[in-house]
């Protein structure tokens, strides 16, 4: 059974030598810093057994994002001494950390392959920025896995959260997880995130896959809206978060890039543009496996149908090192 992190109580922080009044006072800065560091330790908020392992959900304070965040982990059954490789899953627009865990059925294959599934949330929450919840495809639930450069959205740093903060948090608090053996996958906006993060960090991830990813966001309405607001008007900044642009700059990709795309996906022609990415891969001879799946749409029914293939795809890379 996985080793769980120590849970920090919600009691007043008298254990740190700080009184509630000092935490509220102008002179309580040191105590606030102590309290904030304590909040960074993940606290378990739910647990359920599945395929011999456990789905567990946690919350913690994120210094990167400046707010409380949640993430979910599926721990497969394993021996206490066993180190478990990690597959990060990045979800799409409007999702939280719970969608993949509750809908994909990925735990069956993850249990068999002994791979932990880690699903972070899709954006900061609770910051109450003006306009953050005005539309479903921007702001809350739509962080696009980038580091915003515009002042208003300065807390939208999901790239740093996924690439830097979360792996460090896992390594420090879940000793059974082997974060040095990690792969990454995702759906739609999360597929965009998985691909761009992988191409910018091929030393950190062993393999990548995606379902219906937004592969060329500089040329689609979702990407143009998000990038203009988060990154400003400089198109060269946009290209740093576009998989079709990044693949040309990537070091030689050794393991195949697996993408499944539903042919009946209503977002296929206007938003997803998989063939733009396919052409970019051909130019540098990148090993892309693009599977156009007849009859499938953009939903979790589509993901659940092919998720076992993706788990096994990553298992080959994670177990070969």
| Superfamily of structural domain 43-319 | Alpha/Beta hydrolase fold, catalytic domain (3.40.50.1820)
C-alpha 99/C-alpha 114 separation (Å) is: 21
Residues in contact with 151: Cβ distance below 8 Å, sequence separation at least 6, in sequence order:
none
State the pLDDT confidence band at 254, using cuts at 50, 70 and 90: confident
Contact 183/317 with Cβ under 8 angstroms? yes
User: What does the pLDDT look like over 50-94, one tens digit per residue?
Assistant: 999 999 999 999 999 999 999 999 999 999 899 999 999 999 999
Quick one: pLDDT at residue 30?
53
CA angle, corner 303, sides to 86 and 88, nearest 5? 15
User: What does the pLDDT look like over 43-60, one tens digit per residue?
Assistant: 999 999 999 999 999 999
Question: Structural domain boundaries of the chain?
Answer: 43-319
Model pTM? 0.89
Provide the percentage of residues in the chain whose pLDDT is more than 70.
88
CA angle, corner 85, sides to 44 and 205, nearest 5? 110
Q: Which residues are designated catalytic?
A: 188, 265, 298
User: What does the pLDDT look like over 141-151, one tens digit per residue?
Assistant: 999 999 999 99
Asked whether the predicted pLDDT for residue 139 surpasses 60, the reply is: yes
Strands 84-90 and 257-262: unpaired
The neighbour count for residue 125, using CB atoms within 10 Å, is 18
State the pLDDT confidence band at 11, using cuts at 50, 70 and 90: very low
Question: What ranges make up the beta strands (E) of the chain?
Answer: 43-50, 53-62, 67-75, 84-90, 116-120, 177-186, 209-211, 257-262, 288-293
C-alpha 191/C-alpha 91 separation (Å) is: 8
Sheet holding 257-262, edge to edge: 209-211, 257-262, 288-293
State the pLDDT confidence band at 21, using cuts at 50, 70 and 90: very low
C-alpha 276/C-alpha 278 separation (Å) is: 5
Q: Average pLDDT over the chain, rounded to whole? A: 90
* HSE-up of residue 299 (Cα within 13 Å, Cβ side): 5
Contact 83/176 with Cβ under 8 angstroms? yes
């Amino acid at each position: 059974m996985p080793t769980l992190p120590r849970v920090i109580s919600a009691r007043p922080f008298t254990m740190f030598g700080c009184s509630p009044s000092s935490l509220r006072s102008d002179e309580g800065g040191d105590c606030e810093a102590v309290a904030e560091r304590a909040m960074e330790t993940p606290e378990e908020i739910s647990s359920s057994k599945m395929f011999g392992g456990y789905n567990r959900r946690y919350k913690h304070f994120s210094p990167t994002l400046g707010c409380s965040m949640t993430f979910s982990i599926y721990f497969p059954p394993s021996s206490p001494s066993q180190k478990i490789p990690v597959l990060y899953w990045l979800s799409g627009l409007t999702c939280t950390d719970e969608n993949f865990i509750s809908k994909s059925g990925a735990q069956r294959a993850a249990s068999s392959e002994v791979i932990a599934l880690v699903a972070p949330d899709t954006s900061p929450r609770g910051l109450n920025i003006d306009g953050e919840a005005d539309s479903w495809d921007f702001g809350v639930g739509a962080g696009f896995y980038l580091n915003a450069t515009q002042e208003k959205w300065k807390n939208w740093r999901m790239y740093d959260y996924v690439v830097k903060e979360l792996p460090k948090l896992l390594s420090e608090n879940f000793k059974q997880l082997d974060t040095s053996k990690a792969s990454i996958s995702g759906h739609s906006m999360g597929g965009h995130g998985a691909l761009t993060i992988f191409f910018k960090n091929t030393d950190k991830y062993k393999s990548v896959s995606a379902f219906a990813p937004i592969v060329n966001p500089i040329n689609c309405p979702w990407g143009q809206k998000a990038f203009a607001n988060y990154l400003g008007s400089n198109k060269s900044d946009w290209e740093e978060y576009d998989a079709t642009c990044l693949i040309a700059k990537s070091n030689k990709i050794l393991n195949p890039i697996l993408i499944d795309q539903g042919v009946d996906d209503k977002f296929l022609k206007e938003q997803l543009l998989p063939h733009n990415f396919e052409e970019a891969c051909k130019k540098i001879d990148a090993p892309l496996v693009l599977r156009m799946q007849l009859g499938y749409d953009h939903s979790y029914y589509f993901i659940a149908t092919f998720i076992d293939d993706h788990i096994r795809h990553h298992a080959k890379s994670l177990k070969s090192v």
